A and B are shown apart, each in its own frame.
Chain A
């Protein structure tokens, strides 16, 4: 039997791989790095998401929570659990009826008696006199005698009691009759008035709470007590308050915690705290910590299922794992604290929603039920937060989701860039090997065999890189990503799981992209006939004329010709640099943005302290005052700007006349309904002068419209400013009512009980601190990664350019050109393009990043504009340049190594 001869084209592949191993190694490393990282991202993400999703049932995650002013009794809880709306009108009616019944009779009787008495005596006296008169007439007296006798007869009747007896009898008869007649009509009249009043009041409530929603369906829920206390935390026991800790009592029913280290508390002086916060502040199991001036021993580190990010308030722009903590204590431990209990109730739907839309609908139906029930049970709703809107629950998973989406796009773009680099290389190789290809085609090799041969290289390299990248993704890079997530989020423990998406995204799609891009280019190149290949005649248009160039110096024209010759390479270079520069803008700009806001936070606050009071009056009804001369009263209300992407909380301020803190010159001369808005408001939502902004009450169906009369630049928050009197009118406040004090110095003479919150510079910078802590150090690695990526890409492209011109370089060497002159021709042209691409990409990349940042910020509360300083721009420019300079050194070495006999062996 004849031995089968293997396809020589197949046998050539390993040789080619080894022949140019440096290039393939660089490409592979590049791909392995990117595929590995993205694969690690997918695997870590999916595994942690799975852990988070399992945690929903395992750790009994709430479907939402609300807070009441007072502890709810069983009846209220039962009423809320049904999901039925309370009949507020009946409540108002019953309440009014009871009040009417209670008060009407007494009030009516008093009024009626007063009125009756006023007329009865006169009427009775007249009737009594007439009766005496007729008695005297019956005795035969004439008119004159009767007139003379009458006063004496009446006086005698009064003395002998006849008058009183008659009076009483008549009074009783007439009073009762008149009372009975007047009572019912007066009662009916009063009741009618009340009903009219109730109708008006109900109409308001109906609108306010959307009580007449025809789509309303009762949403039965199961309620759980999830009370907490907010306490001061002193994590190093030095007497200084380091932050706030939200302490929950240990429970088995709702919002459980995953134990990451140690154990759960058993004694009243034991505590388990959030794992990430503990890492951040440097405390561990076994340490003591002071919470609410009580000492606790940390026995465990936990991750509460409802606090995967430590958002203190849902409206916080960013979580704060440095100054905010959540903790678990025993019931006895919980009772050791003295501060007010927050009567927080968590709910779970009896009928679980299938998706977020269904969840929103359930939540929308539960809210009116909750509001009406709290009204009829005379409690107050403080806070209402369904799970889908809870940042502390969703931020981490949303963020991880967007990380993966971004990683996927990054990978696609990188693969396309590499695919084009490959394609250009192969195209050049085909040109170089045209005679061989012509010979093979003339010998009977098919176009398909040759296409497959040239396709093999990129596909093999991608396949090997994907395999190695995925192995690293599941091992090394997964751990890198997991540690990044654990550094930002309080996520439960996870198990690595196989990820189909990672396989598709990091293996299948790169292979397909690489295959398609190269197939198209190779097919196009292979269109030529065998004869054209044999003649080396692969140019599209042989007769294409050379472009005329201006009469510049010879070297300058030579370089320009090199640039024209390599336009496709330079285009790829430009797009590659541009794309890397977008990432570089993030790597450089994000820390700068955070630093900028940290440094300028003070300038962006109109006062060092904003004391927001619970009420402008204390418990005894006295106005809360201060002796601090810096203090200036202000009004504030939180409204919402509603949109599909986000319901953003807007602070509306009422500012005192001639305020020393908010310097808006003509604020007091604003017309009715006119306001100033903060620059951040204008920038975020594109609001111009003269525009009208409409804001909503948070839990009421009530809108306010304001016309923008100017902008105020000293407020980082999304805020609205108006004169304090206008504010009081707009929000129906009392004439002297206010929300708190602005002050540049600390106010010490207002009782803690009266202060709801104090906003300081730290509140503004905490987001920056947190972001800096979570991502700051990674940005430096990211910068290095960008430098490496740009260097690798430039290396590959400049290698192509030099290889393409090897004969010409060899030729010029023979003619007597020195290496530095040749480098000046071939490297300088790349340098010029690189410098231009670098400079343009710095600007374009920053612009794109800035726009992307704005788009991202639209989905979050608050507003930070993307900041890059001139130094930052210079850094971006230099980072890519440094990468290039290293490559240029390698290229110079490569030029030096090109032998002179190269030109003698080959022809152009």
Chain B
């Protein structure tokens, strides 16, 4: 593995605060860690630990006050708005806690929203089968269960075969069984497509299926370790 691949996602002394004066709140207080290419990384931490802020900065939709992030050697702080858009377009897939599907598009079209952005998208019908959504492809999001909607959201993120798949509490709104199905799906995708997965969660149990665990608290990295005893999603319990 090359050095670039080893430090595929590199976070260096990242700081971020909100508000000003007395109301100023420092959310990230100098974070630093790296993620390898193809790694399944879980960001753990309680509410307010800064994990979603970090994910937004990695996703190029928020800026750090200082420090930087580099992906594949490119520093995000150096990118203008246009390049950031291109960065998100070409390299990132995003899975949200509340799916964020486009309500007036059906399942297949929601996935096409992602496919359109890629020069070399995955086969949508094949992906629909993989996601178990083929028979639901003409349905609107409001006709689907939460798990199905999250599958669509994953499909939309993965269809362009992104380098990094960012997942923000993807099981936060789902029941236990569905959550495990979704986690399995993400794990399978990671294994199949070799995308780097950064998953934000407050569910400690999920760390069992991760290659790399980063724990945040009060805006600082409290734990940064690799998991040598990775288990499958099915084996997770909480």
Q: Do A and B bind each other?
A: yes
* A positions within 8 Å CB-CB of B: 539, 542-546, 548, 554-555, 557-558, 561-562, 564-565, 807-808, 811-818, 900-901, 903-904, 907-908
Q: Given A545-B140, A554-B109, A554-B112, does the pair A816, B92 have CB atoms closer than 8 Å?
A: yes
CA–CA, A814 to B113, complex, Å?
A: 12
Docked complex: B101-139 residues within 8 A CB-CB of A: 101-106, 109, 112-117, 138-139
CB distance from B87 to the nearest CB of A (A): 8
CB distance from A895 to the nearest CB of B (A): 13
Whether a CB of chain A sits under 8 angstroms from the CB of B194 is no
Structural contact, B106 and A818, CB atoms closer than 8 A: no
Structural contact, A542 and B143, CB atoms closer than 8 A: yes
Q: Given A554-B116, A807-B100, A908-B100, does the pair A546, B90 have CB atoms closer than 8 Å?
A: no
Q: List 29 A-B contacts (CB under 8 A).
A: A539-B142, A542-B143, A544-B140, A545-B138, A545-B139, A545-B143, A546-B104, A546-B106, A546-B138, A558-B109, A561-B104, A561-B105, A561-B109, A562-B104, A808-B102, A808-B103, A811-B100, A814-B88, A814-B94, A815-B117, A816-B87, A816-B89, A816-B90, A816-B92, A817-B85, A818-B85, A907-B99, A908-B103, A908-B141
Task: Report the nearest B residue to A896, measured CB to CB.
Answer: B81
Task: Report the nearest B residue to A554, measured CB to CB.
Answer: B112
Return chain A residues, CB-CB under 8 Å to B180.
none
Residue with the greatest number of chain A CB neighbours at <10 A, chosen from B59, B103, B138:
B103
Structural contact, B117 and A816, CB atoms closer than 8 A: yes
Task: Report the nearest A residue to B102, measured CB to CB.
Answer: A808
Structural contact, A904 and B56, CB atoms closer than 8 A: yes
10 additional A-B pairs beyond A558-B113, A561-B109, A812-B113, beta carbons within 8 Å, are: A546-B140, A554-B112, A554-B116, A561-B104, A815-B113, A816-B92, A817-B117, A818-B82, A901-B61, A908-B102
CA–CA, A594 to B73, complex, Å?
A: 73
Q: Given A545-B138, A815-B114, A907-B99, does the pair A901, B105 have CB atoms closer than 8 Å?
A: no
Structural contact, A907 and B100, CB atoms closer than 8 A: yes
Residue with the greatest number of chain A CB neighbours at <10 A, chosen from B102, B106, B139:
B102
Structural contact, A548 and B138, CB atoms closer than 8 A: yes
CB distance from A549 to the nearest CB of B (A): 9
CA–CA, A197 to B138, complex, Å?
A: 98
* B positions within 8 Å CB-CB of A: 52, 56, 59, 61-62, 82, 85-90, 92, 94, 96, 98-106, 109, 112-117, 138-143, 156, 168
Structural contact, A907 and B98, CB atoms closer than 8 A: yes
CA–CA, A817 to B114, complex, Å?
A: 9
CA–CA, A555 to B113, complex, Å?
A: 9
User: Top 6 A-B pairs ranked by shortest CB distance?
Assistant: A816-B89, A816-B88, A900-B61, A565-B104, A907-B98, A546-B106
CA–CA, A558 to B108, complex, Å?
A: 11
Structural contact, B104 and A564, CB atoms closer than 8 A: yes
Task: Report the nearest B residue to A543, measured CB to CB.
Answer: B143
Return chain A residues, CB-CB under 8 Å to B115.
554
Return chain B residues, CB-CB under 8 Å to A555.
116
Task: Report the nearest A residue to B101, measured CB to CB.
Answer: A908
Task: Report the nearest A residue to B52, measured CB to CB.
Answer: A904
CA–CA, A548 to B108, complex, Å?
A: 11
CB distance from A901 to the nearest CB of B (A): 7
CA–CA, A562 to B61, complex, Å?
A: 25
Return chain A residues, CB-CB under 8 Å to B104.
546, 561-562, 564-565, 808
CA–CA, A523 to B100, complex, Å?
A: 29
CA–CA, A608 to B140, complex, Å?
A: 74
CA–CA, A903 to B86, complex, Å?
A: 19
Dominant secondary structure at the A interface: helix
Task: Report the nearest A residue to B94, measured CB to CB.
Answer: A814
Q: Which of B101, B109, B142 has a CB less than 8 Å from the CB of A542?
A: B142
Structural contact, B100 and A558, CB atoms closer than 8 A: no
Return chain A residues, CB-CB under 8 Å to B82.
818
CA–CA, A295 to B96, complex, Å?
A: 93
Return chain A residues, CB-CB under 8 Å to B117.
815-817
CA–CA, A554 to B156, complex, Å?
A: 14
Return chain A residues, CB-CB under 8 Å to B56.
901, 904
Task: Report the nearest A residue to B168, measured CB to CB.
Answer: A904
CB distance from B56 to the nearest CB of A (A): 7
Q: Which of B62, B98, B109 has a CB less than 8 Å from the CB of A901?
A: B62
CA–CA, A777 to B98, complex, Å?
A: 59
Structural contact, B105 and A558, CB atoms closer than 8 A: yes
CB distance from A183 to the nearest CB of B (A): 114
CA–CA, A904 to B56, complex, Å?
A: 10
CA–CA, A445 to B152, complex, Å?
A: 37
CA–CA, A548 to B106, complex, Å?
A: 9
Return chain A residues, CB-CB under 8 Å to B86.
816
Return chain A residues, CB-CB under 8 Å to B116.
554-555
Return chain B residues, CB-CB under 8 Å to A908.
100-103, 141
CA–CA, A562 to B82, complex, Å?
A: 26
Return chain A residues, CB-CB under 8 Å to B89.
815-818
Task: Report the nearest A residue to B103, measured CB to CB.
Answer: A908
Return chain B residues, CB-CB under 8 Å to A903.
96, 100
CA–CA, A545 to B114, complex, Å?
A: 22
CA–CA, A811 to B94, complex, Å?
A: 10
Return chain A residues, CB-CB under 8 Å to B109.
554, 557-558, 561
Task: Report the nearest B residue to A565, measured CB to CB.
Answer: B104
Q: Which of B62, B88, B99, B105 has a CB less than 8 Å from the CB of A815?
A: B88
Structural contact, B156 and A815, CB atoms closer than 8 A: yes
CB distance from A569 to the nearest CB of B (A): 13
CA–CA, A197 to B156, complex, Å?
A: 107
CA–CA, A24 to B61, complex, Å?
A: 31
CA–CA, A904 to B85, complex, Å?
A: 17
CA–CA, A311 to B102, complex, Å?
A: 67
Structural contact, B59 and A814, CB atoms closer than 8 A: yes
Q: Given A545-B139, A901-B62, A907-B99, does the pair A815, B94 have CB atoms closer than 8 Å?
A: yes
CA–CA, A539 to B143, complex, Å?
A: 11
Structural contact, B102 and A811, CB atoms closer than 8 A: yes
Structural contact, B139 and A546, CB atoms closer than 8 A: yes
CA–CA, A907 to B62, complex, Å?
A: 19
Return chain B residues, CB-CB under 8 Å to A813.
61, 85
CA–CA, A900 to B102, complex, Å?
A: 15
Return chain B residues, CB-CB under 8 Å to A562.
104
Return chain B residues, CB-CB under 8 Å to A539.
142
Task: Report the nearest B residue to A807, measured CB to CB.
Answer: B100
CB distance from B18 to the nearest CB of A (A): 12
CA–CA, A19 to B144, complex, Å?
A: 35
CB distance from B60 to the nearest CB of A (A): 9
CA–CA, A816 to B79, complex, Å?
A: 14
Task: Report the nearest B residue to A561, measured CB to CB.
Answer: B104
Return chain A residues, CB-CB under 8 Å to B101.
908
CB distance from B104 to the nearest CB of A (A): 4
CB distance from B23 to the nearest CB of A (A): 18
Return chain A residues, CB-CB under 8 Å to B138.
545-546, 548
CB distance from B112 to the nearest CB of A (A): 5
CA–CA, A557 to B105, complex, Å?
A: 9
CB distance from B33 to the nearest CB of A (A): 23
Return chain A residues, CB-CB under 8 Å to B98.
907
CA–CA, A545 to B143, complex, Å?
A: 8
Return chain B residues, CB-CB under 8 Å to A900.
61
CA–CA, A908 to B142, complex, Å?
A: 9
